[in-house]
Amino acid sequence: MPRRPLLPMGLLLCLVPVGLAAQAPSPRAGPRPAVGAEVGYSRSNVGGPDATKLRSRQGALTGVFLQVPVAGPLSVRPEILFALKGGGAQIALESGGTAELDIDLAYLEMPVLLRGTVARGRFRPMIFGGPAPALKIGCDLRRIAPDSLVRKPCDQVDFTAFRGFDVGLVMGGGLEVRWPQSALALEARYNTGLRSVLKGSDVRNRTFGIMLALTF
């Protein structure tokens, strides 16, 4: 009796694992980094041992961020924000005496936040916190005297000096609503300054903000 060729049987044995692999479910992809934009309202003042009679000012927070998953419900979110800060106060000066000042400050702020959120569900509470270094990009000063009001850029003031770099600590939380490819969050945050904005006086930024953040 003639022997049947073995090639078809060998070819079939080679194709079976390939077919099974094609039918097997692919591994589930984990969370991926995402980008987003945020905008909000802020209310700030300057406080500290050398500041009294505080007056707050309204401002804005706008920026972009990158959200990188770390483990489970935790992620790291570096941000780049344009932040308006400052306020009014009676400030004790290094040279002696006090001055009634109204300070308008603008910063390029770069928070690096550790963010924790509930891992499941469409509505997810979250909390976050981290350092927020900031580069001063604008500064105007109004000095209120009994008989005059003088407004100048901060670098033209001769009785005090402003620092060009600030560091704050951000703490906050909120609620996030998720869709398959995006998320919208309402956040409240508080940023307290860790160093004085003035040289020779202890006067620090303090800001409370309400923000909307869209992740996509």
Lowest mean pLDDT of 9-13, 88-92, 113-117, 152-156, name the range. 9-13
Written as one string, the DSSP assignment of 88-100 is EEEEE-TTSSEEE
Does residue 6 register a pLDDT over 80? no
pLDDT at 161: 87
Six token digits for residue 143: 């000095």
Residue 18's pLDDT band (cuts 50, 70, 90): very low
169 sits in the region (left: phi over 0; alpha: psi -120 to 50; else beta) called: beta
Distances (CA, A) of 31 to 74, 96, 114, 121: 11, 57, 16, 15
Average pLDDT of the residues in 164-188: 96
What domains are there in the chain, each with its CATH number?
30-215 (2.40.160.20)
Q: Compute the mean pLDDT over every residue in the chain, rounded to the nearest whole number.
A: 87
CB of 135 closer than 8 Å to CB of 107: yes
pLDDT tens, residue by residue, 19-49: 544 454 544 556 789 999 999 999 999 999 9
pLDDT at 147: 63
pLDDT at 15: 47
What's this model's pTM, rounded to 2 decimal places? 0.82
pLDDT at 44: 97
Task: For residue 73, count CB atoms less than 10 angstroms from its CB and return exposed for 0-12, middle for 13-18, buried for 19 or more.
Answer: middle
pLDDT at 99: 85
Average pLDDT of the residues in 112-138: 95
pLDDT at 112: 98
Does residue 184 register a pLDDT over 70? yes
pLDDT tens, residue by residue, 187-213: 999 999 999 999 889 999 999 999 999
Q: Cα 153 to the chain's mean position, in Å?
A: 27
Considering only CA atoms, give the Rg of the chain.
28
Q: Cα 121 to the chain's mean position, in Å?
A: 24
CB of 157 closer than 8 Å to CB of 197: no
CB of 163 closer than 8 Å to CB of 134: no
Does residue 177 register a pLDDT over 70? yes
Cβ neighbour number for residue 106 with a 10 Å cutoff: 19
